[in-house]
Structure 1
């Protein structure tokens, strides 16, 4: 018979992605945890985890069992608190988000979810979040959607271009569309978190432009603030514009991105059932983004 400690141990490993970390969080020894997971796998009749030295991830069966386990744990917690006041089950949603989402757009996505779930936000790159999602360690990721990526677990929210941003009052703001060569003498700011950073570098290199850099930073907020201060110019998604910066068009620089939610099947179904997608989409439009 499956018992609560089986469920807690399964969720501990799924969320931590490691037997060592899960054992520490559960305050049990690693051999005890391994034995508990092995017993659970025997009871359900299939392997739930793929184990190797570097990573522990869910099998296909483990991914299917994950929403069941979360529902069971919620039920156990509700039973524990029955008759003596309830305490919120936190978090009920672990949501990943790429670091380059503008604050207003992130707020538009989070606000409806926060009202429906206890949300824990996990930051990462697109690749990092996809690994976490595949391993069952987050329920959804607000991230870049790839060409042709569709389906019941994929929900596009907005699409936007990347632009070159210059300080307000910069001579290039009056030039209309500029050629890449017009930026040869410009001082640049490198957004290290930019998803098209390598593509941008190749674009300008092919045009013979090898700029100097005044700043290389992981902080989009700092990069855009320094553009506004006149330290240099940078490329960024249109939604990252701040006061004191102006987007300009560069001939041939046509990169775009599509952002949306990638969900595990259980959360994707719940998102639709609760009617939250239209609310999120309305919030995104209210921030001025072009709905996908």
Structure 2
């Protein structure tokens, strides 16, 4: 295999890897900045401009769409979606330019060898395109599942926090100074059980809190008993106990003053932290 064919082979293999890599979803807004920088470098590369104008144009269009959504303060996930596409299209343009340049060099080689090589590369390109299509379909499936999860958590009135999604329940589960679930708590138990059945990769951590009335040790024990009571109710609905952790914090971490009843009522609560997709719950750092 002479140098020109090695160049062609390397360019195509690299392009295949890039195409397969198109499946990874964007993670955050800085992706737009990265996409802009990648595109600026590409548009100043004469080889890319000459050898891959179509792919470069597609990258530009995706980038402009991301920038427009950003300027209009649109949904961040769409900013990231088109920025991600722009970045991948820019990479594809770069590798396409290398491929086309290599093919030009091959074109100067002996005719029969050229025909054989092009046919082999065409088959590889078709296979790579199919793999890229499957990867993109998997990304769309993952994105759809993520949207379903977000809608489900929204229905449960879970809120985003630095620890992930948190569902806060105040005075709906227990009477004052009691760890026995109220009859009305059955709806909450059923909702949590349904959620854990729908998303078997998720776990939860139930955290109990009280106001400052009573001793610190008594309040800690009461909050632990309340968290355990909710856990057992969910377990009785068929959910594995291994997927539910409980902690009683007592009067720690108040969210309001304990100097009046309104504040104490807010502090008497149960928080349910939803794990990430790997079943990991972020713990408190203070």
The bucket for the TM-score relative to the shorter chain is under 0.3
